[in-house]
Every structure is written in structure tokens, then in C-alpha cells.
Amino acid sequence: MTKVAEKPRPGAIAQDDLVVGSSLFKDAMRRFLRNRLAVVCLVITVLSGVICMIPHLPGMPTSITEAHIITNHGQNNLGPSSEHWFGTDELGRDLFARVVYGGGISFQVAFLGTMVSLIIGVTYGAFAGYLGGRIDNLMMRFVDILYGLPFMFVVILIMTVVKKETNSMIPIFMALGLVQWLTMARIARGQVLSLREQEFVTAARTIGASTPRIIFLHIIPNLLGPIIVYTTLTIPGTMLQESFLSFLGLGIREPHCSWGSLASQGIQAVSPIASYWWQVLFPCGALALTLFSLNFVGDGLRDALDPKGRQ
């Protein structure tokens, strides 16, 4: 009697795709590495991040950190050459040094702003989902109210108020982080609503574990998948928003620079009379390449960590 092969159920994990004894993390990494575009974009992101962050590390040579502010009025608006790879700006400053230094600022603001939003959003959403009932309803209505406010208006308002007190970068990533936690709060709440009735949570309650202990030690570790994916998708958004603020003159100020402020300065150098195209091309190109790479990495991680995608 011939045995008919059973068709795999939709969403089922193919046997050839699993390695005996492999963890979910190894399985996800193996499927991520199969996505060649995501791997290439990850390499590009890491390399650009390392190159841009090296000048900001303590004890490193100061060639980049000094070159981006050294003015040379005899070399104003020079095009790309072997001496100045990206050309110079209107003050004779080396544009390559400024792009590298500005990239480090953009990466710092993006990562720190994202971390602030994750800490607030995950904690807020986890408590709302776990406590449930009226507390959950009240907390999420507050989130809905904040969602109704113009996003960029709130950031600009915070920046305008805080900038009167200090000229550091701290207000920038604080402002971005304080308004970006809303989506993460909703994601965390939705995941916690399905986790709070699981057996391991019930067992923790039975032994008398406190609510904070259950949330931080038992529930939040099970949210790492969505948190990682959301982080990779939030970083490019934060970087773009910081660039927009710097473009408007509300972000990074001289003598510091970011890709957004460099793009703003480059656009001012383009006119029908004299077009210094390299002052726009290289900062905008670096920003666009990094944003595209981060988005593709986020898509690759989302597909790798999605249980429905394990085929």
C-alpha cells in the first residue's frame, strides 16, 4: 500500500530547516544569514558606524576631530581631489573629516534616542498589559492622547525650551526618545497581554514573586524578539528626525556637525551662479546609504524572528 506524503501545514517549520538541538536564536541567525541583502547591509552599517565613531573615542588620534573645524581660506569650495577626498566647504574645512565626524554625532543621537524610547516604552507597555483592567485602559488612553499631538511639533517645542539652557547633544536624543516610546509601548502591551496568562507567569505568582520581578525577570526577556526588530527600525527613523532638526537649525550647532546640518549647509552652497554639488552629495549620500542599510537589516531581522516565516 503506497503511503501518500503529507503536505506541510501552512506556517509549519520544515524538517530540513531545523538542526537537532539548535536553539531558536541559532535558527533565526541561520535564516538571517540566508538573506544576502540584509547581511550586506549589516556589514555596511557596522563599517560606517565604526569609521564614524572612532574619532569620538577617548585617546584616539585627533586628526579628524581637529580637521573638521580647521579653516583654510585659501582652499574655499575646492572640489574632490586626492588631498581632499570630498572637497572642502565655504570655510576651507575638509568635507571628508566633517562627514566622518558628523556621522558619529548622528549615530550617537540615533542610538541614544532609541534607547531612551525603548526603556520608557517597554516598561510602560509591560506594566499596562500586565496590570490590565482600568489601569491598563487609563494608561493607554494617555498614549492615545499623545498620539494625537503633532509629533514633530512636540520635538521642536522640547528642543526650543531645552536649548535655552544648554548647547549639548543631550537635549536632542532626550527629546527624540521622549516622543518615540508610544509605538513601543503599544507593541509591548500587546505582547504582554498574551504572555501574562502563560504557565511560567502563573508559577511566578504562585511562589509570591512581586509584580516588578515578574515583569522585568520573566515577561520582558520574552519580548526580546519584537524589541530587537523595533530597535533596528527605530534607529533610522531617529537618525532622519535628528537630521531634519539639524536641517532646520534646531539640532546640532557649530562647531559640531551632523549629516543633517551638513546637508543644510550644502544646500545653501548650491545656486545658479556657482554649484558646489559635493557639499550636498556626500553628506546626503552617507545619510541615505546608512538609512537604507538599517531598514534592510530591520526587515531581515523581522523575517528571521517571525515564527510564521519559518518554512
The pLDDT of residue 111 is 87
In the predicted model, is pLDDT for residue 242 greater than 70? yes
The set of cell numbers assigned to 50 is 565604526
pLDDT digits (tens, 9 = 90+) for 59-70: 554 555 566 666
Residues 41 and 64: their CA atoms lie apart, in Å, by 25
Of the ranges 18-32, 99-113, 238-252, which is most confident?
99-113
C-alpha radius of gyration, the chain, whole number? 24
Q: Would you list the domain boundaries of the chain?
A: 23-55+91-309
pLDDT digits (tens, 9 = 90+) for 130-166: 888 899 899 999 988 888 877 777 777 777 776 655 5
How many alpha carbons fall within 13 Å on the CB side of residue 260?
A: 23
Which residues neighbour 269 within 8 Å (Cβ) at sequence distance 6 or greater?
Answer: 77, 89, 90, 276, 279, 280
The pLDDT of residue 138 is 92
| pTM for this prediction | 0.76
CATH fold of 23-55+91-309 reads MetI-like fold (1.10.3720)
